[in-house]
Structures are given as structure tokens and as C-alpha cells.
Structure 1
Amino acid sequence: MKQHIYPLRTKKLKGSIILPYFQGINGDRMVVPFIFWALFPLVLLTGCGGNDQKPEAQQGPPPKVKVAYPLRREVSEWDEFTGRIEAVDSVEVRARVSGYLEKINFVAGQKVKKGDLLFLIDPKPFQAQLNLTQAELERTQTKRELAKNDLARAEGLLKAKAISGEEYDSRNKGYREAVAAVRAAEASVYAARLNLQYCEILAPIDGRVGRELITQGNLVNGGGEATLLTTIVSTDPLYVYVDADERSILRYKRQHGPSLEGVEAQLEVADEEGFPHHGRIDYIAPSADPETGTVKLRGVFANADELLSPGFFARMRIRASEPYNALLLPDRALATDQAQRFVWVLNQEDKAEYRRITPGAHVGNLRVIKEGLTGQDRVVIEGLQKIRPGVKVSPEQITVGGEQ
């Protein structure tokens, strides 16, 4: 069979596209498939290269990481709860008698002492009522003295049989009635004197007073619909109420006893860290809330500088364990593999090894490691994303707690 060689030619189409083809001996054009031209450079490189192989690319330097030995320290575990600050004492100051408000004797927000004058209701009507009752008391006292003298004379006449027994009984009952009238008048005087005293509305507790809720000159009501005038809250100490879960309460009771009274507690507010306020537990609710399964605890904290205010949200933590020796690592050294926590540990050849661990409680910015490590393990603290199992690394030694 005679072989034919077809010269390669090209044809320029519209635009800048060049289409390669072969010219047959009979003038037919055979277009070369596109896939051939896509693979053609590879064929040339393979054919021309022979058996010469390019050397493999050199590996880069080992990745740099920071490693540290776990910190060994005596720690105590704490449970943290979110709660709200409340005043130990809080009073709504209301009028006890009706009348026109004559004077307001405080500045809104100031600190007051128990017994300080806050408001004055016009006392003149109550002074007049007191004068009237005192006059009535004097009248009844006079009638009592007269009845007493009549009874004394009746006793002598009865012995002399100068009056009947009925007359004596009448004078005796008249005297007893006069005595009762004096007692009633004395009670009226006492009530009138109280009403006059109630015109001066005094601070019932030490604390910080709120704003006046009614202005001078208004009529205020006493009795069942007493007018609210202002409020006073104590500021030092303060209570913090939190809701603790059932498991925590059981652990605390086994550790400290059923009342939890005196158990150490610490507090921080929104802009604080490290729980700088120290106090104690002084109350535990006698029963759990059936809807939430939680038990209310109350801590008491000093507030001499009045930094804390009733109504603030706060975080309170309670000591949950006795002090014990533990291994600690920064939380960023821990990685997660599905539900399992692990760390990277370097062997003697500076190669990374996967190590499962059991983390414990937080202690500041560190985490207790319950299981999986010893104090002699070099743990990767920074650069975890560069590590693969068995990969050699370039470690930089740092100290836990002082690496920042």
C-alpha cells in the first residue's frame, strides 16, 4: 500500500481565528480535531524529553510554631451565673395623712439618713384637731372627777342607809362611764398627735433618695390610696440574685452543707473582668422552681464606693471545688475533632503528634486539662493551622501565662 503524506495547511477565518487542516491528494481538506491541538504540545514535550527527568522541587523550611509546657498550678473551680443586683432595703415613701404639700426638703438623688425630713404637709388643720381633742380630754377628766366624788359620797350614805342600793349603783356606773370617756378622749388626742407628726414625712432608712414624684402645693392623699411621693434604696451592702441549676446546688450542699451560708462568692459587672468584688452567699431558696428546675441563690456584697447600683445585670461566681493541683493551657491551644478535643504535641524529633485530652474548667484565660497530658509534654500553642501529623516543625519555646 502506497502511503500518502498530507501537508499541513491553515486557513484564516473571519477575525483572527486560524483553522489548521491537511490537504489530501485529491484536493479534499481534512480539519484537524481541536483536542489534537490541545494535546499536541504535551506529545512534543514527552517525545523530545527522552529519559531525562527534572529533579523534584526542594521542600520549603519547616513551619514555625510556638510551644510550651503545661502550667502546673493550684486552682479552684468556680461556677458562673448571670443575675441581677438588688437593694437590701427599698422603700416607697407615701403620705400617711391627706393635705397640701407645703415643703420638699431634699435634692433628688442625694444620700439621706434615717429620720431626715423629706416632705412637709401643711400641719395647721392637724394642729387644730389636736387642740380640739385635748380640750375634750380636759372636759372628760373633769366629769370623771365629779363622778368619783359622787361615788365616794354615795358609799358613805349607803353605809348610813341614807340612800337606796339602786342610787348607789347608778352613781357607780356614772363614774365608770366617766372613766371610759377619759380613755376615749386620750385615744383621740393620741391619734391627733400622730396625724400632726405624720405631716413631717421622714426617711425610714439610710440610702439614696429618688426624685420627687409630686411638686409642692399639690394635694396628697393618705390612707388606703396614699400618694407615692418618692423612693429610697439602700446602697451598701447590696444583694445579687442568681438561678443555679439542680446539679450545681447538689454539689454545693454536699461540699458546704445545706444552708450554703458563708460560701465565698465573687462578682463582676458589664465593664469588668476578673470578678473584683468579693462577698458571700447568705440565702438559698427552700425549694426549686418547678418550671425551670433552678434554685435561687443570693449573695451579699459590700458597696462602699457605690459603684454598683440596684437593677444592674452582673455575673456572680461561686467556688465549686476545694483547691487542687492542675495542668493548665491557653484555650487557643485546644482544637476540636468532631466532639473530641485534642492538642498537638511535639516528640523528640520536633514532629507533631495528635493527642486527645479531656478539658476541665476555665481558670482566667486558661483551661484545666484533666486527662491526656503530662507536665513534660511540649504542646503547640500557636500555629496549629500549619501542622499535619508527622510533619516536622520549627518550635519556639514560650511560657504559659507569659506568652502574650
Structure 2
Amino acid sequence: MYLSDIKADSSSESTENTPWYRQRKAAYYLLPLVGVILLYAVTRWWSGSSEAAPPPPAVVTVATPLSRTVTDWDDYVGRFEASQAVEVRPRVSGQLVGIHFKDGDVVQKGQLLFTIDARPFAAALAEVRAQAAAASTALTLARSELARASRLIADQAVSAEEIDTLRARVQSAQASLAAAQAQVRSRALNVEFTQIRAPVTGRVSDRRADIGNLVAGDSAASATVLTTINALDPIYFAFDGSEALYLKQRRAQQQGGAQAQDVEIKLQDESGYTWKGRVDFTDNAIENGSGTIRGRAVIANPEYFLVPGMFGNMRMNGGAPHQALLVPDGAVVTDQARKVVYVVGKDGTVVVRPVQVGALADGLRVIRSGLQPTERVVISGTQFAQPGAKVKPVAGQIAPTKAVAAPPSAPAASQATVLPVN
């Protein structure tokens, strides 16, 4: 109904004061107000129905800590070294005429490696042998003359002076013979030194001189290096330890633990400690500059797999076995300067537990203090666990795992780890 219609109707009735006209005019002005009220009511209803319900509690996986007996191990980083390293040098000078090994071979002690032309030394040996023979003949003659003169002394046929002269001649001949025999031994050694043999069993390097070269052996300083030999079975593992770890080991030994100082070593591409040995040497002083002390372990290497210069991570028995609680490493959260784990109470409320952590053992983190064996630790979904919030716990299980390790960054010399016993 429009106002023009009302006016038309009112004009048709020729009056504006009739009740009918006033009702229709009031309805005309109230219609927009009613529309606004209806629109407001619909908006309120729609906004009320679109409000989301409170979200359900987050689902997290919980489990009680794993209790196991573990042994403390102290970690070190070091290098492998040859148990014996020898530079093969000639002891006589001459021309190299023979090489009797292949580069990189494993050679045995006493095995022939090089040959030097022995003819000059053989000639010198023959010469001194002839001199020794002449000295021996002179000694025989001097003794015969002394014997004849001794038989005549009773008859006063020779003087005492002649007897003394003959005795001195015998002694001089003996000395000449001894000198000649010493020359024979010296020249014989030179002939022997023309055959250069391996002084130790080990792996030989490549040759540094070829056949036909002249090699020098007159003195140790100027002697030609022909090759090198490294004794590799057993092989040494050299490492540096901090003063704190040295004191820890000494205290443990005083208390009757870690007497053998057994060690285990892993290489850069290994996930486990596969090489076994024991410490056989600790230096007699701590270095002033670094505050570390040098140590050495002996490792069996029958297949010569380990070579000098290799890096390795070593752990050494650091104490008696003890009981410890273990949780997954991901369950430990860093909260500023402290380590915490989330524990779910009986009513589903998340509680923070500050803990003191140890090292890894079979992929699990050792908890030294701050956690009870019966508490339920959040092992999965820690990002949804907020202190004081309600969660829906789902039972899980903690089991040891063997981590597959790529070449890791080297641990510090003062780092400690543990190894499970059972």
C-alpha cells in the first residue's frame, strides 16, 4: 500500500480524518521499523548459532619411564697410530740392484726388501780376510820362537832379555790378529747390509728409489729413505682427556671400579662401537696450555682394516653399573636454560617436571633426577601439551632403539655417555 494510494482513496472519500485513513497512514510509517526489528532479530539468531563449540582435549601418547641398569662411559676423540713406524734406510752406500716387494704389501719381519750391489764389499771382505790370515801366521811363528827359547833358558843359552822380547812379539801378533779379525767382521757386516730386510712386520709403503739409483748409507742423518713400514696389529689409538675425566677415572680405580680401563671405538661411518681394546699408557703430566692429559689404547687389528691417521670416537668404562630411568630423547623439552618433561596426572592435567638429563643409551635419554618411575610421561604430542591444560592420554610404550648414525660431529673430550648392561 503506497501513500499515493492512500491519498487517492482519501480523496475519493473526500476526508482525511476518518479512522480508516489514520490506521493506514500509521501502518505505512511502522513498516520500516518492523523490518529493522526483524533484521536485527535474524542477525542475532544467526550469530548465536554460528558460535563454535569448545575444542576437545588434545590427544597425546604417554608411558612410564623405562628402568634399566646402565654403565657410565666417558667419550673421547682421537686418531689411530701405528704401534711401530719404521723408516727403512740403507746402512751402506751403493747401487740399488734389486727390489723384492710390491708397494703396499704386508711384509714379515726379516723379509728381503732391497738389494745393493755387494761386489765392492765382498772384495773388501776378501782383503781383510787375507790380512787376518797373515796376522795368524805371524802369531804362530812368534809362539814357535818363544817355545824354542823357553827350552834353552835352563841351559843359560839365551838371555832373559831375549825371552821378554819374544813374549812381547807374541802379544803383538795376537793383537794384530784380533784387529784383523775385527776388520773381517766389519766387512762381513757390510756385505750383509747390502740385503735390506724388514725390521718389523707390517704394511710397507711405496718404494722411494728404483733399481739403478745410488743410495747413501754413510750416516743416519744423510741416509736415503727407501720406504716406510707401519706395524698395524695391534694398532694404537691416541687421545687427549680432560683433567676432570682423568680424576674421575682415578677415583673410580681407587674405589675398585674400571680397573681394566676397557675401551670401545667406532669409526665415522659406523653406528655402533665395534672395536674393542684397553688403555695401556697414560702420560706422566697434564699439559699446561690445554689442561689435558695424553692417553693411548691398544686395539687388535688382525685384518689391517684400521690405518694410522683415522679418526675415531672412543668411550672408556667410567664407573660401576647403576639403575637409571630412560625416556625418548624427543620427550625432553628445552625450557630456556633447563630441561623439562611433561607429565599427565590422573585427571588428565599436564604438569611440568624439571629434570637432570644424562646421555643417550640405545636411543633413549637417561634421566638422572626429577622424575618418578610411576609417572606418565608425554612421549608423543609434546607440542600439544601445555602446562595446566587438559589432554586425552593414550597409552604407549618406551623401547630401546639402535640409532643409525651418519658421520656425526665429533663429541667434546669431556662428554659422558652411558651403555645399558642388560
Same-fold status (TM-score > 0.5): yes
Residue of structure 1 in register with 2:302 after alignment: 304
Are 1:54 and 2:52 counterparts?
no
1:287 counterpart SS class: coil
TM-aligned CA deviation for residue 181 of structure 1: 0.4
Alignment of 1:218-229 (within 5 A): 218-224=213-219, 225-229=222-226
Which letter does structure 2 place at the counterpart of 1:184? A
Where does residue 30 of structure 1 map in the other structure? none
- What does the per-residue CA deviation read over 1:292-316, in whole Å, with 9 as the maximum and x for residues that have no partner? 1111111111112322111101111
Aligned with residue 85 of structure 1, among 80, 83, 92: 80
- Following superposition of structure 1 onto structure 2, how do residues 21-40 of structure 1 map, counting pairs within 5 Å? none
Q: Which residue of 1 aligns with 2:21?
A: none
What is the number of equivalent residue pairs in this alignment?
A: 360
Aligned to 1:73: 68
Question: 2:339, 2:259 → 1: CA distance?
Answer: 37
Cα 1:342/1:261, change in 2 over 3 Å: closer
Equivalent position of 2:236 in the other structure? 239
Q: CA RMSD in A?
A: 2.3
**Residues 262 and 282, structure 1, Cα contact 8 Å, conserved in 2:** no
Give the Å deviation of 1:373: 1.1
| Greater RCO structure (CA 8 Å; 6+ sep) | 2
Matched AA of 2:359: A
- For residues 401 and 159 of structure 1, the distance between their equivalents in structure 2, rounded to whole angstroms, comes to 109
CA distance in 2, matches of 1:262, 1:253: 12
Verify the 8 A CA contact 2:363 2:400 in the aligned structure 1.
no
Q: Which moved more, 1:154-163 or 1:138-147?
A: 154-163
Q: 1:261 to 1:193 in 2, by over 3 A?
A: farther
Letter in 1 for 2:388: G
Post-superposition offset of 1:257: 4.6
Greater percentage in helix:
2
Specify the code of the residue in structure 2 equivalent to 1:54. Answer: G
Tell me the equivalent position of 2:105.
Answer: 110
CA distance, structure 1, for counterparts of residue 251 and residue 303 of structure 2: 36
Q: Which stretch of structure 1 is more off in the superposition, 381-390 or 350-359?
A: 381-390
Q: Are residue 313 (structure 1) and residue 292 (structure 2) matched?
A: no
- Aligned AA (2:194): C
2:318 partner letter: A
Corresponding residue for 2:212? 217
Q: What residue number does 1:25 align with?
A: none
8 Å CA contact 2:364–2:401 kept in 1: the answer is: no
* Letter in structure 2 aligned against 1:125: P
Identity, in percent, stands at 38
| Kept in 1: contact 2:364–2:400 (CA 8 A) | no
Matched to 1:241, the amino acid is A
Gaps (5+ residues) in structure 2? Answer: 1-35, 403-422
Cα-to-partner distance string for 1:11-44 (whole Å, 9 max, x where unaligned): xxxxxxxxxxxxxxxxxxxxxxxxxxxxxxxxx9
Alignment partner for residue 95 of structure 1, among 86, 90, 98? Answer: 90
Does the residue aligned with 2:348 lie in a helix, a strand or coil? coil
- CA–CA distance in 2 between the matches of 1:289 and 1:387? 49
* TM-score when normalising by structure 1: 0.84
Return the alpha-carbon distance in structure 2 between the equivalents of residues 270 and 235 of structure 1. Answer: 19
Structure 1 unpaired stretches of 5+? 1-43
Distance 1:62 1:360, change over 3 A: same
Equivalent residue number for residue 145 of structure 1: 140
- Which residue number in structure 2 is paired with residue 284 of structure 1? 282
> 117, 123, 129: which one pairs with 2:124?
129
Give TM-score scaled by structure 2 length: 0.80
The reply to whether residue 208 of structure 1 matches residue 184 of structure 2 is no
Q: Does the C-alpha gap of structure 1 residues 113 and 78 become closer, same or farther in structure 2, counting only changes over 3 Å? A: same
